[in-house]
Amino acid sequence: MYAIALVCLGNICRSPMAHVVLEARLHDAGLDDQVAVASSGTGGWHTGEAMDSRAAKVLSGHSYDPSRHVAEHFTTDWYAEHDLILAMDDSNYADIIDLAPTVAEQSKVRMFRDFDPEATAGDNEVPDPWYGGREGFERVLAMIERTTDGLIAQIPDLINPA
């Protein structure tokens, strides 16, 4: 299995939403037997908790199932267990890089929105919706769905690099 890790700060909003959407779309694409998905947060405060209720509500409203999420904490061990580690924002990226066991393994880390066709050099983060209202979570979901489609299209090349 090709293993993808999605990482944000708390693992209760952004990376869990991306986790649910990516799993659903891998299933729809018939790729769920080739790609495994996990998510975690660089901060451990919410470990063991369910998804943020606002994130869950927005996912449910778009026919996704948020109910199985249990928050995990990103540690150095995640490098050995995953082929591709995708950071939601620049600060997550820096924190993940700091935990790399070797410099070579840092190449596993990319920005999630590297796969968003609408991302630009100055707009390549998934903003933290934690302090905002429902509107912010809806915007984040649209960004995640668009990026996930871009990621799904790249899966064959990721699994079998030229």
Give the residue carrying structure tokens 């927005």: 58
128 touches ligand 4NP by CB under 6 A: yes
Helices (H), the chain: 14-28, 53-61, 77-81, 90-98, 134-159
Smallest gap from Cβ 12 to ligand 4NP, in A, equals 4
Calpha distance 39→47 (Å, rounded): 11
Binding-residue pattern over the window 37 to 66 for ligand 4NP, x denoting contact by CB under 6 A: ----x---x---------------------
Q: Which is nearer to ligand 4NP, 147 or 155 (CB)?
A: 147
DSSP structural state of residue 52: P
Span from 11-19, 23-31, 77-85, 105-113 in contact with ligand 4NP (CB under 6 A): 11-19
Residue 116: Cβ within 10 Å count: 20
- 7 forms bridges with which residues in the sheet? 40, 87
6 touches ligand 4NP by CB under 6 A: no
14 touches ligand 4NP by CB under 6 A: yes
Chain positions contacting ligand 4NP, by CB under 6 A: 8-14, 41, 45, 128, 130
